[in-house]
Amino acid sequence: MSSPSPSPAPQPTATAEPTQAAPSANTVWVGNTDGEGVYLRRTPTLDDRAQAYPDDTPLTIIGEDVEGDGQQWHHVRAPDGAEGYVPTMYTVDTPP
């Protein structure tokens, strides 16, 4: 007659610790504008202004950077859902 083998003791389960959400690697913030803010453009050209956003506004990068009018542009989505282009020189990679 064989005796039942002992079952392993239950191990405590790990509980998730709440963490602060880190900014996405695809987020930039309006900056370097001396308080002027930046215009979102419909196309990567200086004349095609759509809407202005103040410094510290987070913008989500949604496409590849492009060149236009002699500048580099990020293809972005603003917090209100508007999409367009902003010059890379008026964005910063770290939150304010």
Rounded distance between C-alpha atoms, residue 68 and residue 3, angstroms = 79
Please give the pLDDT value at position 11: 60
Please check the confidence at residue 64 and state whether its pLDDT lies above 70.
yes
Confidence of residue 19 (pLDDT cuts 50, 70, 90): very low
Mean pLDDT (whole number) for 59-73: 98
Tell which wins on pLDDT, 89 or 11.
Answer: 89
Contact 88, 72 (CB under 8 A): yes
* Distances from the Cα of 43 to the Cα of 25, 33, 56, 95, angstroms: 23, 20, 22, 25
Rounded to an integer, the average pLDDT of 31-38 is: 97
- What tokens were used for 81? 């859902």
Whole-model pTM: value is 0.74
